[in-house]
Amino acid sequence: MKVAIVILNWNGKKLLEQFLPSVIEYSKEAMVYVADNASSDDSIDFVKVNFPSVKIIENKINRGYAKGYNDALKNLTEDIFCLLNNDIEVTKGWLTPILSTFEKEPNTAIIQPKILDYKRKDYFEYAGAAGGFIDKFGYPYCRGRIFNTIEKDLGQYNDIKDIFWASGACLFIRNQVFKNLNGFDESFFAHMEEIDLCWRAKNLGYNVMYVGESEVYHVGGATLSYSNPKKTYLNFRNSLYALTKNAKGNLFLLIFTRLTLDGIAGVKFMFEFKFKHITAIIHAHYSFYSHLKMLLKQRKSLEKRKKYYIITSIVLNYYVYKNRLYKSL
């Protein structure tokens, strides 16, 4: 199988300088692309001069992760796409177990490797850890990371596991499946668009897998910090988008409960004096209401499967029952 590693970049020259060498060194079986989202720094010139083997894709505008990758991938012909953040260090042999799983599992459309923290290499990284899931109300969590509790890597997830969503920090997907799904939903802009993509793939009967033998190290928050209110806004809004589009069942009750839980999160932010995050949640809800007609139209056109969750409420498990580790759920 031919593989395209596509690194989406926006003003990330320093990150490319730091992390692109490991990608080139350990990915001989793949073609490496840098897809630039209209950077204003000299990222492209830097890559052309220092890494001439890397192919350049120049997007004319910056419309975030979703449209950036949709534009970058539309003309590529490789069998497998690897969507790789520009702040990831890959490891020797990282592609071999991924490609082997694709070969053995023809119904597997999407794969994520083990994602560890670049700054603390014996801990999982927030964005994906050892594979993602969502609860009934659309809140995401991972094996190895529930909310802000991060597990140490003790080999507990050195397996191959069916998961619900794969992290967009390092996501492998079959070319044909990506295009059959019409790529990412560009209204998400950034954050949780990979959950929506995986959800749509699962609803069509494809598998999403985690392969723990493949390891990468992720800085995380290099483009947008985890503490940034804009990230709060995008996460809360886009989670509502994905839930409305893809969840089967009584939508009114589901969304009402979810909005109530978001309100409780706002109270928590108030006690933490994080007032900008409260505003972010309010803006997220306003955006959700203003796009509801569009989301309901999408909902009618998409295939659905009833069971998309294992845990009814990760919020209840974490904050009330104090289940902070995946194994305790």
Is the domain of 189 the same as that of 235?
A: no
Residue 327 in domain: no
Is the domain of 178 the same as that of 303?
A: no
Domain boundary, last residue among 162, 192, 218: 218
Domain boundary, last residue among 165, 189, 218: 218
Kindly report the CATH number assigned to the domain that includes residue 111.
3.90.550.10
pLDDT score for 63 = 87
Is the domain of 253 the same as that of 317?
A: yes
pLDDT score for 305 = 80
pLDDT-based confidence at residue 222 (cuts at 50, 70, 90): low
Asked if 73 and 66 touch (Cβ cutoff 8 Å), the reply is no
Per-residue pLDDT tens over the stretch 182-214: 999 999 988 899 999 999 999 999 999 999 999
Is the domain of 234 the same as that of 300?
A: yes
Burial class (CB in 10 A: 0-12, 13-18, 19+), 279: middle
Average pLDDT score, the chain: 95
Per-residue pLDDT tens over the stretch 271-323: 999 999 999 999 999 999 999 999 999 999 998 887 899 999 999 999 999 99
Indicate if the pLDDT at residue 87 is higher than 90.
Answer: yes
Is the domain of 194 the same as that of 264?
A: no
Is the domain of 169 the same as that of 284?
A: no
Residue 47 in domain: yes
| pLDDT (mean) for 212-231 | 84
Indicate if the pLDDT at residue 99 is higher than 60.
Answer: yes
Indicate if the pLDDT at residue 65 is higher than 60.
Answer: yes
Per-residue pLDDT tens over the stretch 107-121: 999 999 999 999 999
What one-character-per-residue DSSP string does 67-135 give? HHHHHHHTT---SEEEEEETTEEE-TT-HHHHHHHHHH-TTEEEEEEEEEESSSTTBB-TTTTT-EEE-
Per-residue pLDDT tens over the stretch 7-37: 999 999 999 999 999 999 999 999 999 999 9
Is the domain of 233 the same as that of 142?
A: no
For 280, the domain range is 229-321
Indicate if the pLDDT at residue 218 is higher than 80.
Answer: yes
Q: How many domains does the chain have?
A: 2
Residue 177 in domain: yes
* CA proximity to 80, closest of 180, 24, 3, 191: 3
pLDDT score for 226 = 67
Phi-psi region of 38 (alpha: psi -120 to 50; beta: other; left: phi over 0): left
Residue 156 in domain: yes
pLDDT score for 70 = 97
Is the domain of 200 the same as that of 313?
A: no
Residues in contact with 229: Cβ distance below 8 Å, sequence separation at least 6, in sequence order: 276, 277, 279, 280
Is the domain of 154 the same as that of 10?
A: yes
